Amino acid sequence: MDELSLCHYIKYKSHLNRSKQDTDFIKAEAQKNGFDFCGITKAEKLDEDAFRLEKWLNKGFHGNMQYMENYFDLRIDPTRLVPGAKSVITLLKNYYPEIRQNTYAPKISKYAYGNDYHEVIKSLLKNLLDKIKEEVGEIQGRGFVDSAPVLERAWAQKSGLGWIGKNGNLITKQNGSFFFIATLITDVELVYDDPFAKEYCGSCTRCIDACPTEAILPDKVIDGSRCISYFTIELKEMLIPGEMKNKFDNWMFGCDTCQDVCPWNRFSTTSHEPAFKPLPEILNFTTKQWDELTEEQFKKIFRNSPLKRSKFSGIKRNLHFIQP
């Protein structure tokens, strides 16, 4: 090896060592900041996912969620969100509750038992990014939680964290699917995890068979316009289509049916995040108490809750719709 080649080799090894150190630091720091899993992949355009998303939108499976048509280029290309992006860091945070709500009351999705996860995870992401900058240097990075144009489940699969199940959720072999997904896009080069190449749903169709509104289609396609979560959270019109009457299985806000029946969720463990501790009212309210709830009480009790997304009027609409 000549002197020039040796010099390049030394620089290359030094670069690899630095990337490994940065990667190890980020994964350790992610755990310290309260995330349960961390995976990293190369920032690149998601061509296959772009094709699937476009096909899904063209079939109208997004219903009235017009915002999903916006920023298409940003959804499939991380460099449009962070110029010079090199790495996509995916983080999972468990929200599985220790206690379930009153069995006979109008049902609420478990993700909404505690405080609004957007605010909780945004704070954790900011802390993590600050720590990375302290260790690595003045890098560029942005954190995203659900509401931004990011295909987080695709990045999670590419980062080796799990596979996308027939119900459209990311499923981990270790603990199932009751996780929030956060994404951190940075312009620092890191050591990348192998993608999760296999899926372990096999011939199981429990989620498809159990869906109350038949929103889960073959080939991991979800008709969002038929999903109970869509009707009870995203739909802003005051009238829910009459054809859906008696199909909500008492779900008032969101729906967990496809996750509750998934065999992989027998491995779910209790979340230790204090902010996700269930509100007593969500656990214990009866149908009568929900019926008698005033707007003033709603705003006070659920001021930090995901339920405020539907607003008081939406909750009352949903409550009326699921009752006989």
pLDDT tens-digit series, residues 94-133: 999 999 997 789 999 999 999 999 999 999 999 999 999 9
| Spans of all domains in the chain | 3-44+74-186
Average pLDDT of the residues of the chain: 92
In this prediction, residue 12 has a pLDDT band, given cuts at 50, 70 and 90, of very low
CA 165 vs CA 30, 35, 43, 199, 214: distances in Å: 25, 22, 23, 7, 16
Per-residue DSSP letter, 230? I
Is 146 marked active-site? yes
CA-closest candidate to residue 235, choices 315, 144, 142, 126: 315
What distance lies between CA 8 and its chain's CA centroid? 42
Distance separating alpha carbons of residues 229 and 307, to the nearest angstrom: 12
- What pLDDT is recorded for position 271? 97
Give the position of tokens 């290359």.
12
Catalytic annotation, pick one of 130, 146, 194, 209: 146
For the ranges 16-30, 39-53, 112-126, the one whose mean pLDDT is highest: 112-126
Mean pLDDT of 134-157: 89
The answer to whether the CB of 169 falls within 8 A of the CB of 259 is: yes
